[in-house]
Structure 1
Amino acid sequence: GEIIATSGEDRIVKLWDLEGNLLKELRGHEHRVRTVVFSPDGQLIVSGSDDCTMIFWNQNGDIIKKVTDFDGHVNCLRFSRSGSILGAVSDDRTAKLFDLQGNLLKTFKGHQSRVKSLSFSLDDKTLATASWDKTIRLWSLEQQIHTVIKHHTDRVLDVNFSPDGQRLVTGSWDMSACVWDLNGKYLQTLDEHIDKVNGANFSPDGELIVTVGSTNDRTVKVWSSDGCLKQSLQGHEDYIRDPSFSPDGKFIVTAGGDKTVRVWTLNGDEYIEYATLGGENGHTSEVRGVSVSPDSKWIFSGGKDGYIKLWTQDGTLVNSLKAHEQEIWNVVFSPDCEADDQVLMGTASEDRTVKIWKFDQKSGTLKPILVLEGHTDRVSDVVFSHCGKLIATGGADKTVRLWTRKGILLSTLEGHTDRVMAVDFHKNGELLVSAGVDDVVIIWNIKAQIEMMKLEEKNTNDTKELSELDKLTQRGGEWARDFIENNQQEVRDEDKDLLNIIQ
């Protein structure tokens, strides 16, 4: 506490004693120095600059390391309470963590504009960041990866939690489906398929599992929860995808490469083929995904032709809509937690977007409400958490992304080394599972993202009513915007940045 560090537009970090005497000048930056901090033990000085670099200095003012891991101005630096981690935020929309040697430990992506400030919690478990995108985000510094399962010997195309949240089932191109506990402990293998397993899912009561096979297999297999094969159903003429039980458990739906959806209904203790959804009014190419509405009355399918089609259980086509210009990889309903028959539906597409729709279960009408954009390659899957408060997407860009139901990106989860094919929420909402072409299944801890969502909801509610001060600030911002826009030659460049804040 005996030395003060200052920084400025002269590109120099200056060290002063408490009486105002200049002790040393640290030169190394090529542009304005925006931020400078001491490590808690006073052994390090770190500065961040508009030259997109961060410099570590020792007490003598010598450069230890120049860090160039930024693609924008470095706006703020903070050490963790323990002093073992340095946090930095930048105009490149990221927050980054470094060790004391300047090695990059982690990058947090999610903000949609410049990140200006950050702070560590007292226990160093959470990082808070503030951005010009008008959001504050909380990031967990604890291990986000809860469990990694490496067992399958080929790509994993599907993964789902059991209804009680105690198990999960995976379907893989190694011709097997496997059941696991939440710690990644192997429980059993379902291995009667003679070709790749494209999908696997639990029944609503968790007592049954359905699996589907690829082109050389073309069967729908129903298993008891202890791994005994109960039925092998035939009907599809090409590969099968996306098996699921209706919420009431009375029928199974499957999507096929033969351009059809098959409905398998419960007859006594067995499922039999009840209807084929397709033909003249059906999809003109492979059906990628199928989902049953929460009331079990409606079936939605999505195909390679970019269309979504609404059917009744008996195969009657109710509606057909061109939803995406490129192929649809999956369609999914949100759980029904509303009293007004309104539920959400999501479609994941090759066009790198997910579209969110509002569906009225009473009238069968569908309305687009939101587009999620951010993936840099096709989106393979989309899923809603309990009551649809969170949305997860998995893509060929190797990432899993978490969104609020209003379309705000909360977090990008990175851990897969190849395309992500499937995602699913645990019933408690605090765990998320993903599976990919890298043969790996990852269970993620998303407690921090849930807190971010709650904070976002609170901020939204708090800003519904403007106070008199808010109204005065708003009028002042409007006046400043008009002045800057109409007096461009008289205004300094740095003051023009106010426009971004005002907007």
Structure 2
Amino acid sequence: MEAFISYSRINKEFVQTLASALKKANREVWVDWEDIPQGAEWWKEIEVGIQEANAFLFVITPDSMTSEVCTWELNHAIKHNKRLIPILHQEVKGEIPPQIAAINWIFFRESDDFDHAFTTLLNTLDTDLERTRIHTRILRRAVEWESHQRDKSFLLRGQDLTNAQHWLSRSIEKPPQPTQLQTQYIVQSARAQSKSQNRKLAAAFAAFIIAVALGLVALYEGHQAKQARNHATISQIRALTSLSEARLANHNELGALLASVKAAKQWHTFSWLANDETYQKEILDLKNQVHHTLKESISETRERNRLELHADRVQTVRFRPNTEKGEKNVIVSGGSDDKIIIWNQAGKPIKTIEQHEGSVYDISISPKGDFFASASGDKTVKVWNFKGELLATLDHIAEIQGVSISPDGQMIAIASNERYVGLWHKNNDNWERIDDFKFKHDSAVQAVRFSHDGKIFASASSDRTVKLWQVANSTDLVLKATLIGHDDRVYAVSFSPDNQTLASASADNTIRLWKLNHIPMDGGNWGKSTVIQAHTNWVFDVQYNPNGNMLASASASGTVKLWSRDGTLLKVFNNPSVRMTAVSFNSNGKWLASAGGDNTIRLYDLEAGTSMKIIEGHQSGLKDVDVSFSNASQQTIASTGTDGTVRLWDSQTYQLLRTLKTTVSARDVDYVPNSDLLGVATYDNTVQFWPVHNSSDKPIYTISQEQTQGKVRSIAFNSKNSLFATTQSNLIQLWTLKIEGKTQLQAKKLGKPLDGHKKSVNALSFSPNGKYLASGSADHTAIIWYFDKTNTFVTHAVLEGKKGHDSWINNLSFSPDSQYLATASSDHTIKLWDVKEGKWLATTPKAEQHQDWVWDVSFASQLPTPEHNHYSFVSGSADNTIKLWRYVSEGNKIELLRTLKGHEGWVRSVGFSNAGHEIISASADKTVRFWEWQHFKEKAKSDDQTQLLDKGCQLLKNYLENNNKLEETDRQVCRQ
């Protein structure tokens, strides 16, 4: 319904004229023509009429100002934040409700031109009509939810919820604002949906909703108009920072960067409020929040542009090779909308080609970049120049899934839905078919690709095989090999630039790497390959980068992944709920384009964001990771999970060295100093000792349950002597370890257990100087123990009190000089303590701390220097993030350097490599990740917010200028 008209019945004649004019203009209105209220049922109808209308027209006359019914109606409209349109029919003396007085009136007095006023009314009704309709629609749903005692079955889901969230985010900028009921309705809908989705996203979005709500409360319920506006602006900025965090958590990188830039722009506009004592602290806190969010979104955003002109799924995308004369980084895409679009590097469409009569499944560009070919469901391959001019049409008998142009540009191979591999040869300006329909698979051919030397080409098929073909002469093909091993359709193939390896992508979720110089090429079958367990759903495409040291894959799982040549996972680009169909590198390999089922092409800067390597292999979540140099001077990483194994990895190659089958899962691992041994604390409360480089399939020594006498949650070795410690429920047992040769061990208890904690001990750590032992407990305390003069461990200090933790202490770490102790807690904080004095020094800042339990903390081995006068440490949390901190002893300040995101599960363990170049993390997402720490330290130096804002706008430039889906207010954000 377009509008509800509220009026005094005395002015019925004018309202009839107005309603009749609106009806003739095809505008549906709700008008009550009765003179006397009819009781509760009548008023219920009035309420519904107001709620169902997009706008509330209030006819201002002296009689309506004194009408009890009009007052009821107006208050109900205000309660539901309906769009108010005041119509002045007769002049009024005296006070007018402020909600009406503050809005521009439309003058319908007898002395005014009715037609002119009516045109103004229609234009007003049409302004922001869609936004108003959404407000009405969500209000209707929210009232229905409320009337059914907030039954969960009435909540928003899927696209309805997404649209409502988008509307709510815009409501801080434009009316009509949401009501409290609408806000609660959307919040509860988001929470219900998030139970099966990303917890962190839910928390961030909830924070955003709260900030919006605070802004609206300040706007409408503040003491004074100016104060209300200031509070509303502050809340809007907070809302934008929360929205940025929510978008980043949901992998919407450009959206996150845009929201953080908007927040920074608004903060700069209102930063003068810092001079007002009323707002000083709030504005400075807000500055830190805006700065942190902007810095994080810049550092984490690898996405640089989105090309969104296709009207259906984008099936293929390819970069044109850069040439001396041609434009650089030109992109060609094809989609299920039958279109081919040529784009420049800034994301601006150069040419749209609409001559195919079926989906465009594949595109191949000649190595010289002078022409390209498109494969289509209309049973043709078409050849084009880059002006979009058709050069040739190659007809076939069935849909064509793939196409490839030979390196010399003289041949075109096709993949046919009717099992055939087709080949055309260029004779002068004509293309002649030479395959004679003789060469085929047992099922549909999905892709073809020429090798870079042009000697062979590969075809991938739904028959689960890859075939290698040689062009014997200009008129014949020879089958050289059939590659077997995939368990489902093979969708794509790609040759490495040196022609040594062929990669294939399959619906069995894997990528296989085939060493071409190992294949006999005698026409027979070949099954030896390296298997990469790449994705959790079909892999549609795989492509090598130009120098051959990386390859990218696109999957129906909504991910694009970047791999090293040997199959080590390097980066993951997440696009939830989007089937990713294709990938392509530009000529220098610094940019990656991806195509998806959401009709979008995304462009990524591969040099941006977090630089890391990912190793996978565990079958369940990880609990711990430890790093050590063995006696053989080879640095190894030990990781343990709940899959009953400990895995040892080479820190240089990231390859698996061996798997220790511990029978039951391990809780904790720690290398034995000055040996080739690893100590493993297990869930059956035993301690096992394994040789690192010996191939033994059993531990060489085990401390039994009868000896440990309690829950062994942690194990720690003293680097200065033969001591080690284990937890024994709420006690700590000290041991001496005697090692004779490589396999003879003996562990002996040293004295009675240390008794000081009231609840279970969760973590143990010896200080680097060997003088102290620290323990952290579920009783919220940490205890520092030391050797007294009688060579007995005694309590040195209990770390608790007002500055202590409010929940379990999960782990702890000494600084490299043994001066400080860091404790990680379930209260979301990390605290630093002076070891010698046993006193609290600092706590991680509340605005920057983790949003869930902190599982682990670890100091870097580097000591402060005159140039870098601080200690660095890293933490891992149940909020799936890693945070890099520095502690400056002068002033006792803990400062956040970076928040590292990428894990899809709790980060249970963190540490530094002994060389100090990498942060290592182990997560419940079954991965161990290596993060280049120096990269983060350099980025941490850029702290100027103006420079950050300039950089954010620079990164957004092409997106803001060329994306056709953005609203104009967003497009102008960096020009203000």
TM-score interval for Structure 1 and Structure 2 normalised by the shorter chain = 0.5 to 0.7
**Aligned mates of 2:707, 2:517 — CA distance in 1:** 56
Task: Determine whether 1:315 maps to 2:534.
Answer: no
One-letter amino acid of the counterpart of residue 345, structure 1: L
Q: 2:713 aligns with which of 490, 494, 499?
A: 494
* C-alpha contact 2:301 2:609 (8 A) present in aligned 1: no
| Match for residue 446 of structure 1 among 600, 606, 609 | 606
Look up the equivalent residue of 2:341 and give its one-letter code: C
1:233-288 deviation digits (Å, cap 9, x = unpaired) = 11x22110221211222211110101011111121123221225655xx3111001
Contact 2:411 2:424 in 1 (8 A): yes
- Which of 487, 496, 506 is matched with 1:325 structurally? 487
Cα 1:277–1:383 shift into 2, 3 Å = farther
Contact 2:631 2:676 in 1 (8 A): no
Distance in 2, Cα, partners of 1:262 & 1:424: 24
Aligned-residue offset at 1:294: 1.4
2:241–2:293: 8 Å Cα contact kept in structure 1?
Answer: no
Cα distance in structure 2, aligned partners of 1:329 and 1:390: 19
1:211 aligns with 2:374: yes
Summarize the alignment of residues 286-365 of structure 1 with structure 2, pairs less than 5 Å apart: 286-313=444-471, 314-336=476-498, 343-360=500-517, 364=521
Q: Which has the higher contact order (CA 8 A, sep 6+)?
A: 1
1:192 and 2:350 are equivalent in the alignment? no
Alignment of 1:114-263 (within 5 A): 141-164=299-322, 165-214=328-377, 217-234=378-395, 236-263=396-423
1:41 maps to none
Q: Would you say the 8 A contact 1:99–1:105 is kept in 2? A: no
User: Per the alignment, do residues 489 and 333 of structure 1 end up closer, same or farther by CA in structure 2, a change over 3 Å counting?
Assistant: farther
**1:376 aligned to 2:547?**
no
- For residues 195 and 345 of structure 1, the distance between their equivalents in structure 2, rounded to whole angstroms, comes to 30
Q: Does 1:269 align with 2:486?
A: no
Gaps of 5+ in 2: 1-193, 201-239, 252-291, 323-327, 615-628, 637-671, 680-687, 691-698, 718-725, 727-907, 910-927, 929-976
Aligned partners of 1:181 and 1:377: how far apart in 2? 32
Q: Hey, what's the Cα distance between the residues in 2 that align with 1:264 and 1:218?
A: 15
Kindly provide the amino acid, as one letter, of the partner of residue 229 in structure 1. Answer: L
Greater share of residues in helix = 2
Task: Give the distance between the partners of 2:604 and 2:352, measured in 1 at CA.
Answer: 23
| CA distance 1:374–1:295, change in 2 (3 Å) | closer
Kindly indicate whether residue 581 of structure 2 is the aligned counterpart of residue 421 of structure 1: yes
- Distance in 1, matches of 2:450 and 2:362, equals 16
Aligned residues: 373
Cα deviation for residue 343 of structure 1 reads: 1.6
What aligned pairs does 1:82-101 form with structure 2 within 5 A after superposition? none
Give secondary structure in 2 for the equivalent of 1:249.
coil
Q: TM-score, normalised by structure 2?
A: 0.35
SS for the counterpart of 1:141 is helix
Q: Which runs of 5+ in 1 are unaligned?
A: 1-66, 73-97, 110-122, 128-138, 337-341, 455-462
Q: How many angstroms apart in 1 are the aligned matches of 2:515 and 2:635?
A: 37
Q: Deviations over 1:74-121 (max 9, x none)?
A: xxxxxxxxxxxxxxxxxxxxxxxx978996554599xxxxxxxxxxxx
When Rg is computed on C-alpha atoms for both structures, the one with the higher figure is: 2
Q: Deviations over 1:293-315 (max 9, x none)?
A: 11101111110010111111222
Amino acid corresponding to residue 327 of structure 1 in structure 2:
R
> Which amino acid in 2 is paired with 1:160?
R
1:54-133, aligned counterparts within 5 Å? 104=246, 106-107=248-249
Query: Which secondary structure does the structure 2 equivalent of 1:275 belong to?
Result: coil
Q: CA RMSD in A?
A: 4.0
Which amino acid is the alignment partner of residue 599 of structure 2?
D
Question: Equivalent residue of 1:233, what SS?
Answer: strand
SS in 1 for 2:566: coil
How far apart, in 2, do the equivalents of 1:179 and 1:219 lie? Answer: 19
1:400 equivalenced with 2:560 (yes/no)? yes
- Aligned-residue sequence identity (percent) comes to 27
- In 2 relative to 1, CA 450–200 (structure 1 residues): closer, same or farther, beyond 3 Å? farther
Determine helix, strand or coil for the equivalent of 2:543: strand
- Within 2, Cα distance between the matches of 1:361 and 1:469? 32
Partner Cα separation in structure 1 for residue 308 and residue 547 of structure 2: 31
The 1:209/1:102 distance shift into structure 2, 3 A limit, reads: closer
Residues of 1 paired with 2:593 and 2:634: CA distance? 46
Answer whether contact 1:378 1:397 (CA < 8 A) is retained: yes
Which residue does 1:467 correspond to in 2? Answer: 633
Counterparts of 2:304 and 2:635, CA distance in 1: 45
Amino acid in structure 1 at the alignment position of 2:677: G
Partner amino acid, structure 1, of 2:704: N
Query: Do 1:200 and 1:212's aligned partners in 2 also have CA atoms closer than 8 Å?
Result: yes
Counterparts of 1:355 and 1:399, CA distance in 2: 18
Is the Cα–Cα contact under 8 Å of residues 276 and 315 in structure 1 kept in the other structure?
A: no
